[in-house]
């Protein structure tokens, strides 16, 4: 009897505690296409820990990795409409929605990773971040996405001419479609999750991405030829639904901003290590890496700039980026 009442008491106490926690804590759902352990996933988890600690548990982040909430384009709609609170996505799928995101997605716009960091941490980065508000989002952080290069199942690529007539999956952005066309190849935009089987079944010859994606999405298993042409260096975006953001007090908004900023430093560190690790891994498993001369690739990009950098605002942004030393 004594035992029974103790048990009931304990159960009631647990239930009360759980109810207390549930009502006091807002759990924010965040999406990422990458698997657990990927630098962007780990950076958002770190952000969540900081937020939880600094709001004394009033906020927590529940991260759905591996595209559990859908492919990038769909999750962008979900976060815009407030169905999910947070999302970590590439900036390229925003190109059609937010003109300012076009600029950092342009081929060979950045001279180096260091140049990209200086731009995104400076005035142009602030301008791009502010533009996210146009589509109902608050930009919390830009993360590293490294340089994207072509890979394929057919042959080593040593020059622009080697790409002629080949079929590549590209990320869902017109800039990428036009870039591939300017190089004499054909582009098919498709969701990330469909790329592996599209290469395996020969629907496409290859795709383009950084080493960590090429490795963790297992594309290296089906496309052994990786050419380090490094055509783009599109930063990743970590965004929050404006509707969720507006529910935060100004003090909590400051906590979120600071935590996001700290997660950037963490992500950059994790990223640099992951690029090395993934490159070593794919080389060990038989990928053949070629390093074509980049200049002819750069020279072929005129039509892409002409088509996508038309108005004065974007032209000024391109000039401002070039001026950053
Ligand atoms: C990766 C990026 C993902 C996704 C993917 C893709 O580099 O981190 O967010 O955009 O590329 O090509 O779909």
For 94, residues 6+ apart whose C-beta sits below 8 A from its C-beta are 76, 101, 132, 135, 237
Give the pLDDT confidence score for residue 16 in this predicted structure.
43
pTM: 0.93
Q: CATH for 26-145+235-282? A: 3.40.190.170
Topology of domain 148-233+284-323 in CATH is D-Maltodextrin-Binding Protein; domain 2 (3.40.190)
Closest atom of ligand 1 relative to the 212 alpha carbon: 7
Cβ of 213 below 6 Å from ligand 1? yes
Task: Choose the residue to mutate in 180, 213, 239, 267 for probing ligand 1, maximizing ligand atoms within 8 Å of C-beta.
Answer: 213
Closest atom of ligand 1 relative to the 209 alpha carbon: 7
How far apart (Å, rounded) are the C-alpha atoms in residues 179 and 185? 9
Give the pLDDT confidence score for residue 24 in this predicted structure.
81
For the CA atoms of the chain, what is the radius of gyration? 22
Q: How far is the CA of 130 from the centre of ligand 1 (A)?
A: 22
Query: Per-residue pLDDT tens for 14-30?
Result: 444 444 444 489 999 99
Cβ of 145 below 6 Å from ligand 1? yes
Query: Per-residue pLDDT tens for 143-157?
Result: 999 999 999 999 999
Q: Do 26-145+235-282 and 148-233+284-323 come out as alike in CATH topology?
A: yes
How far apart (Å, rounded) are the C-alpha atoms in residues 144 and 263? 11
Cβ of 33 below 6 Å from ligand 1? yes
CA angle 146, 126, 135 (to 5 degrees): 90
Give the pLDDT confidence score for residue 242 in this predicted structure.
98
Task: Choose the residue to mutate in 41, 90, 207 for probing ligand 1, maximizing ligand atoms within 8 Å of C-beta.
Answer: 90
Residues of the chain with pLDDT under 50: 1-23
In the block, which residue shows the tokens 């395996």?
200
Cβ of 210 below 6 Å from ligand 1? yes
Give the pLDDT confidence score for residue 253 in this predicted structure.
98
Cβ of 207 below 6 Å from ligand 1? no
Q: Any idea where the domains of the chain sit in the sequence? A: 26-145+235-282, 148-233+284-323
Q: How far is the CA of 25 from the centre of ligand 1 (A)?
A: 31
């Amino acid at each position: 009897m004594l035992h029974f009442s103790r048990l009931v008491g304990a159960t009631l106490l647990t239930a009360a505690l759980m109810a207390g926690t549930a009502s006091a804590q807002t759990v924010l759902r965040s999406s990422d296409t990458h698997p657990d352990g990927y630098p962007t996933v780990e950076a958002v988890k770190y952000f969540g820990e900081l937020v939880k600690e600094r709001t004394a548990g009033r906020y927590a982040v529940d991260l759905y990795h591996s595209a559990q909430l859908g492919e990038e384009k769909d999750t962008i709609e979900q976060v815009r409409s407030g169905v999910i609170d947070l999302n970590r996505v590439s900036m390229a799928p925003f190109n059609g929605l937010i003109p300012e995101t076009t600029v950092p997605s342009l081929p060979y716009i950045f001279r180096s990773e260091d140049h990209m960091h200086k731009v995104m941490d400076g005035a142009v980065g602030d301008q791009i971040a502010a533009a996210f508000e146009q589509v109902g989002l608050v930009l919390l952080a830009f993360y590293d996405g490294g340089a994207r290069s072509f890979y394929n199942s057919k042959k080593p690529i040593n020059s622009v001419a080697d790409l002629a007539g080949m079929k590549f999956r590209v990320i869902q952005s017109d800039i990428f479609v036009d870039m591939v066309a300017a190089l004499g190849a054909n582009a098919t935009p498709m969701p990330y999750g469909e790329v592996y089987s599209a290469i395996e079944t020969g629907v496409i010859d290859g795709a383009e991405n950084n080493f960590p994606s090429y490795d963790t999405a297992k594309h290296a298993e089906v496309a052994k030829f990786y050419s380090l042409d490094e055509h783009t260096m599109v930063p990743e975006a970590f965004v929050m639904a404006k509707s969720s953001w507006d529910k935060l007090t100004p003090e909590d908004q400051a906590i979120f901003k600071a935590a996001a900023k700290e997660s950037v430093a963490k992500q950059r560190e994790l990223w640099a290590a992951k690029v090395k690790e993934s490159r070593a891994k794919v080389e060990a498993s038989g990928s053949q890496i070629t390093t074509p001369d980049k200049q002819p690739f750069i020279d072929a990009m005129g039509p892409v700039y002409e088509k996508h950098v038309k108005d004065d605002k974007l032209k000024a942004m391109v000039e401002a980026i070039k001026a950053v030393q």
